[in-house]
């Protein structure tokens, strides 16, 4: 007899929950769409009408109806909900950032470890074909050692109508601004691409004048490998511009760049002998397939792991490392000093 489909619930039914719901459908994962809850009843009912989930009256009702839950609320609610889900033995997909500070993220990581539940974090760029291929071409032996990385990430400040929410402008709910809320992805990708970071030096600015919410952050990094790099993270008001990333990596014998779509590229490279290459779209996806560990779809990967009761990736421990680096960056910006990271 085939196993019963995993019962999947959602707490928080905004833009990010909708993204994951659609991604689950694209993944083809065999699931039962169970309960969902949001404090905004209209948003909840719209989500359920589109997804097939059942509108619940409380978070507890969702957790009592599901085997796996997506936690897609504002950041400050994550710890409480993770604890409630872990206590029930429910598999947990928690959106990034995990928490407003690294110590809280550390406690959450211990909670899921002690409970023994499958856990995954929304650091979805770990399965981006563009980033996977960029790593592939810059770690190839013929590229030589990575010397430097230049990373730029910009988007319009996400308190506009497109996001259907304004909580990212509230430091009590978000914890901080563009670096934590958006570029926690980038911190994770920097170590994924280049290796362990050991020193950071940062400066921040707040042009929107929202207390505790920086909208520009410039960071310099040194890596254990000897490489150096920079990250510039910006929340602007150019609402006609989509969220975009550009990453350049200079190796001893190869230059590579990812720009445009941070999922489908293009990724291009040039070698010291003049050889050039470029991949994008379906061609890029096909090239990356042999490099993948498990399903290409992050949500499909979570469901597969949860159904087997196995570890998922990237997990809370992976996210904790990004939080530790983020806290060091904020400390550096606040003290105008370089900060070493263990």
Cα 295 to Cα 342: distance, rounded to the nearest angstrom: 32
**How many domains is the chain partitioned into structurally?**
2
Cα 259 to Cα 274: distance, rounded to the nearest angstrom: 21
Task: Note whether 142 and 185 are same-domain residues.
Answer: yes
Within a domain: residue 1?
A: no
Task: Note whether 119 and 196 are same-domain residues.
Answer: no
Compute CA distances 33 → 44, 78, 99, whole Å. 14, 21, 26
**Could you tell me the mean pLDDT of each successive run of 10 residues in the chain, 342 residues long?**
80 96 95 97 97 98 98 98 98 98 98 98 97 98 98 94 86 98 98 98 98 98 98 96 96 97 97 98 97 93 97 98 98 98 90
C-alpha torsion sign, points 227, 148, 264, 68: positive
pLDDT of residue 164: 76
Task: Note whether 115 and 131 are same-domain residues.
Answer: no
Within a domain: residue 42?
A: yes
Instruction: Spell out a b/e string for 181-211, using b for 16 or more CB atoms within 10 Å of the CB, else e.
Output: bbbbbbbbbbbbbbeebebbbbebebebebe
pLDDT of residue 161: 73
181-200 tens-digit pLDDT:
999 999 999 999 999 999 99
Which tokens belong to 155? 């988007």
- Model pTM greater than 0.85? yes
Task: Note whether 100 and 178 are same-domain residues.
Answer: no
pLDDT of residue 294: 87
* Whether the Cβ atoms of residue 169 and residue 159 lie closer than 8 Å to each other: yes
Helices (H) and strands (E) counted in the chain, each on its own, are: 12, 15
Task: Note whether 273 and 305 are same-domain residues.
Answer: no
pLDDT of residue 3: 63
Domain that holds residue 86: 6-124+299-314
- The DSSP annotation for 150-202 comes to EEEEEEE-TTSGGGT--GGG-HHHHSSSHHHHTTHHHHHHHHHHH--EEEEEE
pLDDT of residue 162: 74
* Whether the Cβ atoms of residue 154 and residue 178 lie closer than 8 Å to each other: no
DSSP state of 2: P
Looking at residue 31, which CATH number applies to its domain? 3.40.50.720
pLDDT of residue 163: 76
Within a domain: residue 226?
A: yes
- The DSSP annotation for 274-319 comes to S-EEEE-HHHHHHHHGGG-SS-SSHHHHHHHHHHHT---SS-HHHH
* Whether the Cβ atoms of residue 67 and residue 74 lie closer than 8 Å to each other: no
Task: Indicate the burial class of 107 (C-beta count within 10 angstroms; 0-12, 13-18, 19 or more).
Answer: middle
Task: Note whether 35 and 79 are same-domain residues.
Answer: yes
Looking at residue 180, which CATH number applies to its domain? 3.30.360.10
Task: Note whether 250 and 131 are same-domain residues.
Answer: yes
Compute CA distances 109 → 76, 100, 129, 302, 316, whole Å. 15, 14, 27, 17, 5
Neighbours of 328 (CB within 10 A): 23
pLDDT of residue 1: 34
* Whether the Cβ atoms of residue 178 and residue 214 lie closer than 8 Å to each other: yes
Task: Note whether 178 and 74 are same-domain residues.
Answer: no
Task: Note whether 118 and 130 are same-domain residues.
Answer: no
Q: Which of 234, 272, 266 is nearest to 247 (CA)?
A: 266
Q: Which residues contact 217 (CB under 8 A, 6 or more apart)?
A: 177, 178, 179, 183, 202, 203, 204, 205, 231, 232, 233, 234, 329, 333
Bridge partners (DSSP) listed for residue 276: 270
Task: Note whether 41 and 118 are same-domain residues.
Answer: yes
- The DSSP annotation for 67-114 comes to SEEEE-S-GGGHHHHHHHHHHTT-EEEEPSS--SSHHHHHHHHHHHHH
Task: Note whether 188 and 307 are same-domain residues.
Answer: no
Task: Note whether 101 and 183 are same-domain residues.
Answer: no
Q: Which of 125, 108, 26, 32 is nearest to 71 (CA)?
A: 108
Cα 18 to Cα 151: distance, rounded to the nearest angstrom: 28
């Amino acid at each position: 007899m085939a196993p019963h489909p995993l019962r999947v619930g959602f707490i928080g039914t905004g833009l990010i929950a909708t993204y994951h719901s659609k991604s689950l459908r694209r993944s083809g994962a065999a699931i039962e769409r169970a309960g969902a809850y949001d404090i905004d009843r209209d948003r909840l009912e719209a989500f359920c009408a589109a997804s097939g989930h059942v509108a619940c009256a409380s978070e507890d009702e969702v957790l009592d109806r599901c085997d796996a839950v997506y936690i897609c609320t504002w950041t400050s609610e994550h710890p409480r909900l993770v604890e409630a889900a872990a206590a029930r033995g429910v598999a947990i997909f928690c959106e990034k950032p995990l928490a407003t500070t690294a110590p809280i993220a550390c406690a959450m990581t211990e909670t899921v470890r002690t409970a023994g539940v499958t856990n995954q974090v929304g650091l979805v760029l770990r399965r981006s074909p563009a980033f996977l291929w960029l790593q592939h071409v810059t770690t190839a032996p013929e590229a030589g050692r990575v010397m430097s990385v230049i990373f730029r990430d910009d988007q319009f400040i996400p308190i506009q109508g497109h996001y259907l929410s304004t909580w990212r402008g509230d430091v009590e709910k978000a914890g901080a601004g563009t670096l934590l809320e958006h570029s926690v992805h980038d911190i994770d990708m920097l170590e994924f691409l280049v290796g362990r970071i050991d020193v950071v030096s940062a400066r921040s600015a707040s042009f929107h004048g929202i207390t505790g919410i920086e909208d520009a952050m410039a960071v310099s990094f040194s890596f254990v490998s000897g490489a150096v790099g920079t990250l510039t993270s910006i929340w602007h008001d150019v609402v006609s511009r989509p969220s975009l990333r550009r990453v350049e990596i200079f190796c001893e014998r190869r230059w590579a760049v990812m720009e445009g779509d941070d999922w489908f590229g293009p990724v291009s490279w040039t070698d010291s002998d003049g050889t050039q290459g470029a991949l994008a779209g379906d061609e890029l996806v096909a090239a990356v397939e042999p490099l993948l560990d498990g399903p290409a779809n992050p949500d499909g990967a979570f469901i597969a792991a949860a159904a087997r009761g196995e570890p998922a990736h990237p997990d809370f421990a992976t996210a904790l490392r990004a939080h530790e680096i983020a806290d060091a960056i904020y400390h550096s910006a606040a003290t105008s000093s370089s900060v070493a990271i263990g």
